Amino acid sequence: MSLSAYGLMHIQQALDITSQKREAMIAESAYYRALNHGFRTDPLQDWLEAETEIDQMLQQQFIQKFQAEVMQRIQELEKEPERHLKDLFKMYTDLLWIQQEPSGSQDLNEFDMIKKVKQFICPLLRPVSNDAREIAEVITPALVPLSLTETLPLPFLPVFFAVMSIIVSRFGIERFCSDTVKS
């Protein structure tokens, strides 16, 4: 899956990489690809392969940085034990709704979106404990690429992923995933 323009913009902003810097990285990688093959390859193919390689590298760096921010938000939210599951769920659905408005994806309500999210994450969560941090370690790297490619329009907000992890933790994975089909 290739990054959407929206996903690429988020990566570049988060990693403080300009379009010119990314393009220079791609050009350098394409040059070394061609050099390694004695300049007998198609320059366009070298460029496209370099672009894929650089975008994958940047995506991994973004996910690592984003994951660290999610863990920090979990720690902050867990310091507020007075936050009830109902409040967290409201925050979660509000963040989903905010995300859908600009993209025009208003044909899905927040509960339909939650179902889609559950279809992606529940199979991954089966071997995981109910610890919010462990849940976040599984779902963040799985969902962020889907969001970067706009396969699943989720907000690029660490607090969203933190809240989602805490909700799953408090519900318990088995209960949270009880209405999804087991594979």
Assigned domain for 16 exists = yes
Instruction: Give the DSSP per-residue string, the chain.
Output: -PPPHHHHHHHHHHHT--HHHHHHHHHHHHHHHHHHTTT-S-HHHHHHHHHHHHHHHHHHHHHHHHHHHHHHHHHHHHT-TT--HHHHHHHHHHHHHHHHHHHT-TTS-HHHHHHHHHHHHHHHHTTS-S-HHHHHHHHHHHHHHHHHTTSS-----HHHHHHHHHHHHHH-HHHHTTTSPP-
Highest-confidence segment of 19-23, 73-77, 149-153: 19-23
Higher local confidence (pLDDT), 28 or 106: 28
Assigned domain for 33 exists = yes
Question: How does pLDDT run across 122-141, given as a tens digit for each residue?
Answer: 999 999 999 999 999 999 99
Whole-number average pLDDT of the chain: 86
Assigned domain for 183 exists = no
Whether 104 shows a pLDDT value over 50: the answer reads: no
- Residue 96's pLDDT is what? 66
- Residue 103's pLDDT is what? 45
Mean pLDDT value of segment 85-109 = 61
Assigned domain for 181 exists = no
Question: How does pLDDT run across 26-67, given as a tens digit for each residue?
Answer: 999 999 999 999 999 999 999 999 999 999 999 999 999 999
Assigned domain for 10 exists = yes
CA pair distance 16, 44, nearest whole angstrom:
27
CA pair distance 154, 114, nearest whole angstrom:
10
Is the distance from CB of 68 to CB of 25 less than 8 angstroms? no
What does the block give as tokens for 125? Answer: 């969560």
Question: Residue 148 corresponds to which amino acid?
Answer: L
Question: Beta-carbon neighbour count of residue 17 at 10 Å?
Answer: 18
Higher local confidence (pLDDT), 113 or 13: 13
Mean pLDDT value of segment 84-98 = 69
**Count of domains forming the chain:** 1
Whether 106 shows a pLDDT value over 50: the answer reads: no
Entry pTM: 0.80
Mean pLDDT value of segment 138-145 = 94
Q: Which domain holds residue 154?
A: 5-176
CA pair distance 36, 160, nearest whole angstrom:
44
CA pair distance 171, 183, nearest whole angstrom:
21
Assigned domain for 25 exists = yes
Assigned domain for 156 exists = yes
